[in-house]
Amino acid sequence: MMSIDKIKNETTPMIQDDILDYAISHGFGDLHFKVDNETGMKAIVAIHSTKLGPALGGCRFIEYPNTTSAIYDAMRLAKGMSYKAASVNLPLGGGKAVIIKPNQPFNREAYLHAFGRFVNDLGGRYVTALDSGTQLNDMDIIAQHTPYVASLSSHNGDPSPSTAKGVLRGIQAAVEFKLGKDKLEGLHIAIQGLGNVGYQLAGHLHELGARLTVADVNPTSVERAIKNFGATAVPTESIHKVPCDVFAPCALGAIINDFSIGQLQTTIVAGAANNQLAHSYHGQLLHDKGILYAADYVINAGGLIFAASKYLHTPENLVLQQIDGIHTSLMAIFARSQRENRPASEIADILAQEKLGLAPTR
Ligand code: NAD
C-alpha cells in the first residue's frame, strides 16, 4: 500500500504553461481556432484523436476567465471523449468545441451560424453535439451549415435512459466480479442523485430486487423514490457513508476525494456521474482499500452510444448490444486490474490508450 503523499507526488500533473507541449504529451491530433470577424465569435475545436473515427464531442457555450482556460477545457474534454468512445469500441474519435460566451450582449444566433460554418470547414473530422450552454435548437441552427452534427431536435431523444441501462450493466459487472453474484436481489445500493439517470437507475435496481438508500437535494425526487421503489432516504451529506454493497454516484463530480474516501463503507463504487475521482490518485486509494471502482467514463458511456447511434444511424439491436458491451468492457478492466494489482481506473486509461495507439500518459 502506498502512502497518500507518495501517491499525490507521483500523480499530480505538472502545471503546463505551454499549450502545444500539453497537446503533444497528451497525444493530441489537432487544435483549431476561429475568430469570426463579422460576428466577433471566438471558438476552439480540440481534436484529440480520429484514429477510430470522426472526433465526436459536445460544444460548450459558456464564459471563461480567459482564452487559455477555454483551450485547456476543450482539450481536457476532447481527450475524455476519445477514451470514452474507445473504451466501449465505438467507431469514433474524441473532440470537443468551445464557443467563448462574451460577458456583454451579443447575437447568439449569429454566433451559432458562424460556428456551423467553422465545423463544416473541418470537413467531418469533428462532429458537434450538445454540451453545457447549448440546446437542441442551437444544434438545428448549426446544422444549417454542416452535416457534422450529432444531436438535433429531429433526433428526438434523451440519452439518459441509455445511460441508466449502461450503469445498470456496469453495476452488474462489478457485483459479479467483486461479490461473485449474478443477481442484484437483496443487495443494498446507495444512490446519490435522483435526476434523469439516477431515478431511472433506481427503477431498474428496484425491479431486480435491490434495496435502495437514496439522497437528493430535491425532496420531490426523494419522495418519488420512497413511494415508487420503497427506498430509504438519508441526508445528502450522509449518502456516501451508508454501509452498502454498491455506492452509485449519480449527481456530482469529485465525490471521491480526500475527505470522503475514508468515510466510504462500500465494496463497489459504480455510478453515472462524470469525473467521480477528484484526482487520479483517488483511484489508487480505492484500490488500496479493496473498493472496486467502475471507471466513470466507461460505465456512463450509454449516453454517448445513444448520441452516436443517431449520427451513425446504428440499428436499434446494435445499440442495445453496445450498451450491453459496457458489462464486457468493465469485466476486462476488472480482470486486468486484479491480475496486475493496479487500480481499475488506471487500467481503464491504459486499455483506452492501447486502442488509441497512444503511449501511457499517467
Ligand atoms: P440531473 O441534473 O438530471 O441529475 C442530477 C441530480 O443530482 C438532480 O436530481 C439533483 O437534484 C441531484 N443533486 C445535486 N446535488 C446533489 C447533492 N449534493 N446530493 C445529492 N443529489 C444532488 O443529471 P443526470 O442527467 O441525471 O446526470 C447525472 C450525472 O451523470 C451527472 O454527473 C452527468 O454529468 C452524468 N452523466 C449523465 C449522462 C446522461 O445521459 N444524462 C451521461 C453521462 C454522464
Confidence tier at 25 by pLDDT (50, 70, 90): confident
Q: Which of 34, 79, 84, 96 is catalytic?
A: 96
Residue 216 CA to ligand 1 centre (angstroms): 10
Question: Can you give the pLDDT at residue 362?
Answer: 53
Q: How far apart are CA 242 and CA 245, in angstroms?
A: 9
Quote the pLDDT of residue 17: 66
Spatial separation of the C-alpha atoms in residues 105 and 128, rounded to whole Å = 25
Is the per-residue pLDDT at 2 higher than 60? no
pTM attached to this predicted model: 0.92
Contact 239, 194 (CB under 8 A): no
Mean pLDDT of the chain: 93
The answer to whether residue 3 scores a pLDDT higher than 90 is: no
Closest Cα to atom 14 of ligand 1: 251
Rounded to whole angstroms, the Cα distance separating 57 from 44 reads 12
Instruction: Report which protein residue has its CA nearest ligand 1's atom 43.
Output: 300
Q: Where do the H-state alpha helices sit in the chain?
A: 4-11, 19-25, 67-87, 108-121, 136-142, 160-179, 196-207, 219-229, 281-288, 296-299, 302-312, 316-340, 344-356
User: What pLDDT sits at residue 11?
Assistant: 35
| Ligand 1 contacts CB of residue 250 (under 6 A) | yes
* Ligand 1 contact via 217 beta carbon (within 6 Å): yes
Nearest CA to ligand 1 atom 31: 273
CA distance 96 to 282: 26
**How far does the centroid of ligand 1 lie from the alpha carbon of residue 19, in Å?**
31
Q: Ligand 1, residue 306: give the atom nearest the CA.
A: 40
96 carries an active-site annotation: yes
80 lines ligand 1 (CB under 6 A): no
Distance between CA atoms of 283 and 269, rounded to whole angstroms?
Answer: 11
Q: What is the mean pLDDT of residues 69-90?
A: 95
What pLDDT does 7 receive?
A: 38
Say yes or no: CB of residue 128 within 6 Å of ligand 1.
no
As a whole number, mean pLDDT of residues 329-341 equals 98
What is residue 12's predicted lDDT score, i.e. its pLDDT?
34
42-65 average pLDDT score:
96
Report which protein residue has its CA nearest ligand 1's atom 32.
Answer: 273
Average pLDDT on 29-44 reads 96
- State the distance from the centre of ligand 1 to the C-alpha of 273, rounded, in angstroms: 6
218 touches ligand 1 (CB under 6 Å): yes
pLDDT tens profile 169-189: 999 999 999 999 999 999 999
Probe target for ligand 1 pocket from 250, 256, 299, 323, with the most ligand atoms within 8 Å of CB: 250
The minimum-distance atom of ligand 1 relative to the CA of 274 is 32
Which residue has a Cα nearest atom 8 of ligand 1? Answer: 195
Sheet of 292-293: strand order equals 232-233, 211-215, 188-192, 246-249, 268-269, 292-293
Beta strands 93-100 and 42-49, pairing class: antiparallel
Question: Which numbered atom of ligand 1 lies nearest the CA of 236?
Answer: 19
**Mean predicted confidence (pLDDT) in 74-99:** 96
pLDDT one-digit tens code per residue, 226-275: 999 999 999 999 999 999 999 999 998 999 999 999 999 999 999 999 99
Question: Ligand 1, atom 20: nearest CA belongs to which residue?
Answer: 216
d(CA 26, CA 20): 10
Q: Is 261 in contact with 285 (CB distance < 8 Å)?
A: yes
Identify the residue with better confidence: 283 or 7.
283
Q: How far does residue 250's CA lie from ligand 1's centre (Å)?
A: 5
Ligand 1 pocket test: which of 158, 197, 199, 300 has the largest number of ligand atoms within 8 Å of its C-beta?
197
Ligand 1 centroid–CA 159 distance in Å is 13
| Residue 222 Cα to ligand 1 middle (Å) | 14
